[in-house]
Amino acid sequence: MTVPRTAAWPTAASPTAAPPPSLRGDQRNAWAFAPLRCPDQVVVEGSVAGAPAWSTSKVLVAAAFVKVVAGGDPRRLNAGQRRWVASALQRSDGSAVVAMAAAIPGGQAAPINAILRAIGDTSTRAPDRRAGLMRWSLREQVRFLGALAAGRVANRATSRYLLETMRPIRAHAWGLGSIGASAWKGGWLRPSTPTRQMGIVNGYAVALITAGVGPAVRQSDGDWAHVAQLNRLAGMLRQRLTAAGPAELPQTCR
């Protein structure tokens, strides 16, 4: 498969330069990132406690659907099934993800959990229904994206298919979409709940979340997202990645 290009860690800023943005100590915003060449070395800054996965979980449902229903070969999906995957990952269509989950014999939980365990995630637990309510940490989302980029989510064909499909419609192209992400998926619900995204940006797996900061904007699915704040965090994260240096990584990853 074609793995997203892994960028070299940029040279850290000089001692006289302004310090890079950081979310350390922030309890309403957080981000996590890791270079694709060393995806287990995740940097997490900030924290938002107890946030559900919301629609970022649709990627897991789609992965389980392709693995079980198509035997891990996206070419075996019929036109209607491919529309389900595209609608779920690009338009965040709830009816499409419900259809995929219903088509998985025995339910979605077992195959999703099997996918997560196979890539080393022992903490995330998928429910039998309403995957959006599952807890999926930023750290584990970044590790999942690293595995996806390496072709280790289900198999190479499934991983490539998901990455190629995770390109949201224009109305959802805020946040990571505003800084050139090659693949990303967001999750949102109400003005009072967190808005989050995960994706691939210039050789990094990244994830962002904000807990109700700033105004919320009604999305094409009828729910509400904190668009301006995710745009702000994405811009800050771009600066953070530019300033990140090898000193943050173990010797084996430099």
Identity of the residue numbered 48:
V
First to last CA, the chain: 24
User: Running DSSP on this structure, what letter comes out for residue 170?
Assistant: G
Q: Which ranges constitute the DSSP H helices of 93-172?
A: 94-102, 109-118, 138-149, 156-165
> Phi and psi dihedrals of 35, rounded to 5?
-70, 145
Pairing type for strands 43-46 and 224-225 reads: unpaired
Cα separation of 91 and 93, whole Å?
Answer: 5
Q: Model confidence at 15, in pLDDT bands (50, 70, 90)?
A: low
Q: Model confidence at 243, in pLDDT bands (50, 70, 90)?
A: confident
**Paired strand residues for 217:** 225
Q: In this predicted model, what pLDDT tens digit does every residue of 84-111 receive, in sequence order?
A: 999 999 999 999 999 999 999 999 999 9
Cα separation of 84 and 94, whole Å?
Answer: 10
Contact at 8 Å (CB) between 8 and 253? no
Cα dihedral across residues 95, 174, 32, 194: positive or negative: negative
Domain 29-245: CATH class, spelled out: alpha beta
Is residue 8's pLDDT more than 80? no
Is residue 4's pLDDT more than 90? no
Is residue 11's pLDDT more than 50? no
Contact at 8 Å (CB) between 151 and 159? yes
Contact at 8 Å (CB) between 1 and 160? yes
Length of the chain: 254
**Paired strand residues for 200:** 183, 205
Q: In this predicted model, what pLDDT tens digit does every residue of 130-175 receive, in sequence order?
A: 999 999 999 999 999 999 999 999 999 999 999 999 999 999 999 9
Nearest to 227 by CA among 176, 180, 182, 166: 176
109 or 247, higher pLDDT: 109
Q: Delimit the domains of the chain by residue range.
A: 29-245
Q: In this predicted model, what pLDDT tens digit does every residue of 39-69 receive, in sequence order?
A: 999 999 999 998 999 999 999 999 999 999 9
Pairing type for strands 195-201 and 204-210 reads: antiparallel
Cα separation of 152 and 145, whole Å?
Answer: 10
Is residue 223's pLDDT more than 60? yes
Residue 158: what pLDDT?
98
Query: What percent of the chain is predicted at pLDDT more than 90?
Result: 85
Is residue 77's pLDDT more than 60? yes
